[in-house]
Structure 1
Amino acid sequence: MTTYDLIDEAVIDAPADAVWKALVSEFRGAKEWWVPSNTFHAVSGEPDAVGGRTGVVVHTKGADKGGLKLRFTSRTVAVEPGRRLDIEYVDGVFRGPSTFRLEPLADDRTRLSMHFTGSPHGWLKILAKVADLGAEHSKGTLAAFESLNRRLSAEKATAVER
């Protein structure tokens, strides 16, 4: 069976509390920086509370562009507000744990990482034999992190100008 063990990270030009707020907001369905690759919606509870469930849709050609839609659900298993969010994929085309970590850095910057340890489930197991889903996952995650950095950097610059 194929299992992905990927760590993607970026330095975000914003303090950890702003990165945390943006991450949780996105998982609640904000669609501000992870689109067009992924969209999220709350299924039950809150994404930053143990037991909260979040629906994930990976849009292989971009949101509202057709193409395959990979759907799965995560359940929050541990939370350290502003620092760490542990989830487990429990339903849909992926199963397994993932962790988001936020590490405060100098100059109000934050290292954001996602450690994705998932296995394809159902029909996705077949696709995983012919497509490099791990590379596509990292490509989408890093693009989202870059988008988040642009968004929060702009907000930070605007705040400084005031």
Structure 2
Amino acid sequence: MGVDVQTEIKIERPVDVVARYAGDPTNAPEWYVNIQSVTWQTPPPLATGSRLEFVARFLGRRLAYTYEIVRLEPEALLVMRTAEGPFPMETTYTWAPLDDDRTLMTLRNRGVPSGFSSVAAPLMARAMRRANTQDLRRLKSLLESR
């Protein structure tokens, strides 16, 4: 059984501002509660094929994994997949303007955790939903206070 978690939030900032900040992996440790560091494995700027190493803590475990950017549409969509790591995952960000000054951002994580039974997947999904909700609230707070 896989995990598929989608959360969204309305942010009182223009879509270009939200997408530029949230779509820059270097900023992830500022707004993701579980992300401790991000290291570029390919030179910036972000493009399809870019690779980045993330170090995170989730459910009490340290996780190190490499994401590869598989799709990028500026100010609209960013899709990245783990290329290496213990939990095959795809993360998708979408940004949609609600009007000139407001953006709807969606964060979706899906994958099949290795070494977990189907019983653990619902627990993991709940923990991910809780963390993603906190992350998006933190992102909203950071961007709206600027």
Query: Under TM normalisation by the shorter chain, which class is it?
Result: 0.7 to 0.9
Q: Who is 1:56 aligned against? A: 54
Q: 1:120 aligns with which of 83, 97, 113?
A: 113
Q: Post-superposition shift, 1:13?
A: 1.4
The two structures have a TM-score, normalised by structure 1, of 0.77
2:134 corresponds, among 138, 143, 153, to 143
* Aligned position for 1:154: 145
Question: Using the alignment, how far apart are the partners of 2:5 and 2:120 within structure 1?
Answer: 19
In the alignment, structure 1 residue 72 sits paired with structure 2 residue 65 = yes
- Report how far residue 30 of structure 1 moved: 5.8
Deviations 1:30-61 (A, max 9, x none): 63221x32234122244730111122233237
CA distance 1:80–1:146, shift in 2 (3 Å): same
Partner of 1:16: 15
Change (3 A) 1:56 1:129: farther
Q: Determine what percentage of the aligned residue pairs are the same residue.
A: 24
Structure label with greater radius of gyration: 1
Superimposed CA distance per residue, residues 59-89 of structure 1 (whole angstroms, 9 cap, x where no aligned partner): 237xxxxx41122221101110111001112
Q: Distance in 1 between the 2:142 and 2:131 partners?
A: 16
**Pair 1:141–1:30, CA change in 2 (3 A):** closer
Q: Which amino acid aligns with 2:34?
A: S
Unaligned ranges ≥5, structure 1: 62-66, 156-162
Distance 2:66 2:94 in 1: 20
> What CA RMSD, in Å, does the superposition of the two structures yield over aligned residues?
2.2
SS of 2:18's equivalent? helix
Query: Could you say which residue in structure 2 is the equivalent of 1:33?
Result: 31
Residue 102 of structure 2 is matched in structure 1 by: 109
The total of aligned residue pairs comes to: 144
Q: Which of structures 1 and 2 has the larger relative contact order (alpha carbons within 8 angstroms, sep 6+)?
A: 2
TM-score by length of 2: 0.85
Distance in 2 separating the partners of 1:30 and 1:9 = 17
Q: Which residue of 2 is the match for residue 158 of structure 1?
A: none
- Amino acid in the other structure paired with 1:134: A
Instruction: Give 5+ residue unaligned stretches, structure 2.
Output: none
Aligned in 2, Cα 1:13/1:29: closer, same or farther, shift over 3 Å? closer
